[in-house]
Amino acid sequence: FKQADLANKHIVITAGPTQEAIDPVRYLSNHSSGKMGFSLAAAAAERGAQVTLIAGPVNLPTPAGVQRLDIRSAEQLLKTSLDCISSCDIFIATAAVADYRPAEAAEQKIKKDGSGSELSLTLIENPDILATVAKHSDRPKTVIGFAAETQQAEQYAQQKLKRKNLDAVVANDVSRQDIGFGADNNEIIWVTQSGSEPFGPATKHDVSHFILDHINTLIH
Ligand code: PMT
């Protein structure tokens, strides 16, 4: 890549899982490690961008030169994302946001009553951060989503591209152990309105530079 080809761009990247509280000691979440989003943040900083990384609870060091904002829930992720958009040129959503959260988080730890009876949780839909940003009156010029699929990745990515008003979608298969969630590698399909291009398997670092190369082509 050309050194500093993203200088003067403010890139906001969401990463990691969200945690949705059930009570003070329990939550709903998923297997995202944050590696994909942190790799993208590191790669964008290497290319001279000003990077804001909005991170769910993960065990990763903050990449050099990156401003990190920690969040826990989807609602916090939405608020922090909206706080950033007015100065944002490129928004990239790698976070694995919980689609649902408990309707109410119990104030005290939920106790089992020992009778063997069922416990039901009522879940309500979380806001879609990516779609909210992409349809906002302050929409960043370029908005990129990910699509975590277990089948027909390219087809579902095309649907997300249109439904969420995106410039591109990065599709990946999350049913495999060697790529996607938690892995150091990924294999993706870059999907835009004008077509699609596969890349990988490769390290998440190399995948990140492939994505940033294509974002550069989009914006120039
Ligand atoms: O973190 P790693 O372990 O490295 O794993 C990387 C990854 C598999 C999590 C990543 O590559 C990935 O696929 N991220 C997207 C996960 C996801 O939630 O995909 P989705 O198809 O459910 O959502 C589509 C897009 O909408 C995503 O960009 C997501 O960030 C966004 N979204 C989804 C739901 C929601 N309520 N708000 C959102 O912004």
Collect all residues with Cβ–Cβ distance below 8 Å to 145 and sequence separation of at least 6. 93, 130, 134, 160, 161, 164, 166, 168, 169, 170
ipTM above 0.95, yes or no: yes
In the prediction, which pLDDT does 1 show? 56
Query: Can you list the alpha helix ranges (DSSP code H) found in 47-136?
Result: 74-84, 129-134
Determine if ligand 1 sits within 6 Å of the CB of residue 188: no
Question: Nearest to residue 199, comparing CAs of 166, 162, 171?
Answer: 171
**Probe residue for ligand 1, chosen from 97, 125, 166 as the CB with the greatest number of ligand atoms within 8 Å:** 97
| C-alpha span between 46 and 49 (Å, rounded) | 7
When pLDDT is averaged across residues 18-38 and rounded to a whole number, the result is: 97
Written as six digits, the tokens of 206 are 């190399």
Question: Nearest to residue 121, comparing CAs of 42, 196, 49, 20?
Answer: 20
- pTM score, two decimals? 0.97
In the prediction, which pLDDT does 185 show? 97
The residue whose CA has the least distance to atom 18 of ligand 1 is: 96
Delineate the domains of the chain, giving CATH numbers in brackets: 10-103+121-219 (3.40.50.10300)
**pLDDT tens digits along 77-111:** 999 999 999 999 999 999 999 999 999 999 999 99
In the prediction, which pLDDT does 25 show? 97
When pLDDT is averaged across residues 26-51 and rounded to a whole number, the result is: 98
pLDDT above 70: percentage of residues in the chain: 99
Determine if ligand 1 sits within 6 Å of the CB of residue 96: yes
The residue whose CA has the least distance to atom 24 of ligand 1 is: 147
Query: In the predicted model, what is the mean pLDDT of the chain?
Result: 96
| C-alpha span between 22 and 24 (Å, rounded) | 7
CA of 108 to the centre of ligand 1 (A): 31
